[in-house]
Amino acid sequence: MFGLISAQLAFFLSLGAFLAGAAGSLVFWKNNKAANLWSNILAIIGSLFGLVASLSVILTGAVFSYAISSGSPLMDISLDVDRLAAFFIFVISLIALLASVYGIEYVKHFYKKYNIGALGFFYNTFILGMLLVVAAHNAIFFLVAWEIMSLASYFLVIFENKEKENVRAGSLYFVMTHVGTAFILLSFLLLYSFTGSFDFSVIKANIANVPPLIQSVIFLLALAGFGTKAGIIPLHVWLPSAHPAAPTHVSALMSGVMIKTGIYMFIRIFLDIMPGGPLWWGELVLVIGAVSSLLGVLYALTEHDIKRLLAYHSIENIGIILLGLGSAMFFFAQGMKTLAILGLVAALFHTLNHAIFKALLFLGAGSVIAKTHTRNMEEYGGLIRLMPATAFFFLIGSMAISALPPFNGFFSEWLTFQSLFSGLATAGISMRWVLIFGAGALAFTGGLAAACFVKAFGATFLARPRSEEAKHATESGTLMLVGMGVLAALTLIVGFFAGWVAQIISSIVNGLSAFKKVDVPFVADSSAFHLQSGFAQVSMLIILLSLVGVSVLVFLAVKIFTKDRKIKIARTWDCGTELGPRMEITATGFSRSIITIFQGILKPTKQTSIEYRDAEMRYFQKANIVKLEVADVYGAYLYQPLQDFLTRIANYFKKIQSGNVNAYVLYIFLILIILLLILTV
């Protein structure tokens, strides 16, 4: 199949399809239906070509590069798709494909209210930007592609601009992503000043020219810059407002794929361009990963808006990916390249898995929101009877994200655990604590994520409806179900073939020059996945077969043994009183215990305001409003002081702008004198 069309041609066809999709949506500005179909179908075509291109590069090693230089550096196009970039192109294309299939039906909900042509234009530009970001090989071109991606996603975030909170979320996202871009720009400029070029290969070749202190500065700048995009704590403040604001298939792309471009650049810079970093780089990334995963899942537990909950889970999973990446950098710094491959494979596998199940969960949430017109989980309930297929796919997504066997999430968390455990077994005393902290964070995160998804699935789909809207919901459209169903099947398939996929990912890692010819630390044969050190092994095949086989056996045995028993349907045991919708557990009530236990970290607040029937006597209450919130720690302790500081400095410098033209002429004169003095000396 790959002989028919070369990887390079397929990639360019895919880029072309997205360009055409964007342009065509502008042409069909007036016609909603045509714009919808045109943009999504061309996105599907582009994704298919992207899949072909990436699979061709990964499976047959046909890496390619392409460069056009023009006069000015800003117009240079420089692409280099090696196996790592192809992996990310694969992830982008896969999720874009399924999000577009879902989108064809989902976008119909926006027909009368917003302009579909604009949506199609920005959607295709967004995916185009992401593809160019992972393929870029020149720092300037990279920044251009990064900017395209950020701007397009900003417009998508504020697409539903009639809601004020969406516009506010968009502004926060805009500012944060440009702060990140500033850090990235600084790091690239530092690299340029020491190696003399913006091209990644040239930088890599001359990296020895950069002194170690500057390398660490570049590391910190890149960590901050790409970390803002990835959503590490404490740079995550834009994520929980921006991801829910966008239309759902875009949220799936943003959460599943866009934040992974930050991870891509982490791998590119920390393990490909500047691979010789000291130990504390890996330890810092590990600590950030552990903290992000724990705090992400704890904040997710406080949410009752279903899309914000999923956005916080993205932060948690980025933390898990960083745990794998951090352990890879950690081993690499000690020269243990084989174990570093283990960590890197765990990080990349979790990237793929998270993209699949987060997209699945977002698409499911979008279907529910489209039918019930609210994002508040407290108003759902009983939807499993009205939307059975959506509920089933959401359940599979919940099981995958809680790392339950036999789905794919379990295997990537298992791999991350194994890389941390291998580190524990070989590390020195001072480094052990970081690994124990990471492993402990991962252990607690797994359990808390399962708790959060019991809450999310249970409050949304189970028991009885809690509002009128939930009583009248209907099943989602066919294309939406197809999008979700394929993703659900993928969680199971990737879980089943996990060993084989891990081996492919290890070949991708071997493609990086720092890991060339390094032994892979595991073996995946047809039935089991073994670590070479003999420390651990797992067999996803046996797990799946035994789960299915034994449950069928138990079901049949019980059925045969109890075939004379009858089942009567009656009302729920309610102790003799009527059960109203207020008596079911609410999403807020479910997580109240955990919030109370972790109140030192989460700082929950409770405000009550009571309205009395007689304001003077204050005996009988008319209304009692209780607001349960989580204090905005990052705003209060990090961003607000920063903002105050910057405002103070700006106010200080405002004194120069006196408004007096004579003063300005004086400034020009003074500067001229100084420049003349400097230039002559």
Partner 1 sequence: MSLIILSLQLILVPVLSPLFVGLIRKAKARLQNRQGASVFQPYRDLLKLFNKDEVISQDASWVFRFAPYIIFTVTIIIGAIIPLVTTIFSNSGLSDFLVVVYLIALGTFFLALSGMDVGNAFGGFGSSREMTLAALTEGGLIFSLLFLALAAHTTDLFGIAQAVSNLPLSFIVPIILAFAAFIIAMLAETARFPFDNPATHLELTMVHEAMILEYSGKRLALIEWAAFNKLLIFMALGANLFFPWGIAFGTGLIEIVAAFLAFFLKVALLCLFIAVLESSIAKFRYFRLPDLLFISFILSIIAISLIL
Partner 2 sequence: MLKMYSKILSTPKTVIDPANFKLDQDVEVVGKKIEEKVKKLFRGSLAIREVDAGSTNACEQELTALSNCYYDVERFGVHFVASPRHADMLMVTGSVSRNMKEALVRSYEATPDPKIVVAVGDDAIDGGIFKGSYAVLDGVKNVIPVDFEIPGDPPSPKVILSYLLKILETLDK
**Positions that interact with partner 2 (CB under 8 A):** 566, 568, 570-571, 573-577
**Which runs of consecutive H residues, i.e. helices, occur in 4-115?**
7-27, 32-60, 83-106
Pairing assessment for the beta strands 529-531 and 537-538 based on DSSP bridges? antiparallel
Which option in partner 1, partner 2, none does residue 424 bind, with CB closer than 5 to 8 A by kind? partner 1
Give the three-state DSSP class for 562.
coil
DSSP code string of 125-162:
HHHHHHHHHHHB-BHHHHHHHHHHHHHHHHHHHTSSTT
Q: Is 570 in the site for partner 1 (CB under 8 A)?
A: yes
Instruction: Determine if 474 is a binding residue for partner 1 (CB under 8 A).
Output: no
457 binds, among partner 2, partner 1, none (CB under 5 to 8 A by kind): partner 1
576 binds, among partner 1, partner 2, none (CB under 5 to 8 A by kind): partner 2
Interface of this chain with partner 1, residues 382 to 401, rule: CB under 8 A = 382, 384-385, 395, 399
Choose between 570 and 668: whose C-beta lies nearer to partner 2.
570
Element (H, E) at 524: strand 522-524
* Among the listed residues 123, 183, 393, 410, the single contact to partner 1 using CB under 8 A: 410
Among partner 2, partner 1, none, residue 146 binds (CB under 5-8 Å by kind) = none
**From the list partner 2, partner 1, none, which binds 523 (C-beta under 5 to 8 Å, kind-based)?**
none
Measured CA to CA, the distance from residue 169 to residue 7 in angstroms comes to 38
Bridging pattern class, strands 522-524 and 64-68 = unpaired
- Determine, following the binding rule CB under 8 A, whether residue 162 of this chain makes contact with partner 1: no
Choose among partner 2, partner 1, none what residue 205 binds, the Cβ cut-off being 5 to 8 Å by kind.
none
Task: Indicate the residue among 577 and 609 with the shorter CB distance to partner 1.
Answer: 577
CB nearer partner 2, residue 20 or residue 579: 579
**Cα separation of 568 and 77, whole Å?**
70
Q: Residue 66 and residue 51: Cα distance in Å, rounded?
A: 19
Query: Reduced to 3 states, what is the DSSP secondary structure of residue 89?
Result: helix
Structure tokens at 543: 């797990």
Q: Decide: is 546 part of the binding site for partner 1 (CB under 8 A).
A: yes
Site for partner 1 in 366-385 (CB under 8 A): 381-382, 384-385
Give the nearer residue to partner 1 in terms of CB position, either 478 or 546.
546
Distance CA 170, CA 161 (A): 10
- Which of partner 1, partner 2, none binds 3 (CB below 5-8 Å, type-dependent)? none
Q: Which region among 143-151, 229-237, 257-265, 568-576 touches partner 1 (by CB under 8 A)?
A: 568-576
| Beta carbons within 10 angstroms of residue 678's beta carbon | 8
Tell me which residues in 581-600 interact with partner 1 (CB under 8 A): 583-585, 589-594, 596-597
Select from 74, 443, 649, 665 the one that contacts partner 1 (CB under 8 A).
443
What is the rounded distance in angstroms from the CA atom of residue 301 to the CA atom of residue 444?
A: 13
Output 528 or 579, the one with its CB closest to partner 2. 579
User: Tokens 């950030």 map to which residue?
Assistant: 288
Q: Is 533 exposed, middle or buried (0-12, 13-18, 19+ CB in 10 A)?
A: middle
To the nearest 10°, report the CA torsion of 178, 184, 187, 189.
-70
- The kind and range of the H/E element at 507 are helix 498-510
Stretch that binds partner 1, among 138-146, 236-244, 440-448, 474-482 (CB under 8 A): 440-448
Q: Which is nearer to partner 1, 204 or 464 (CB)?
A: 464
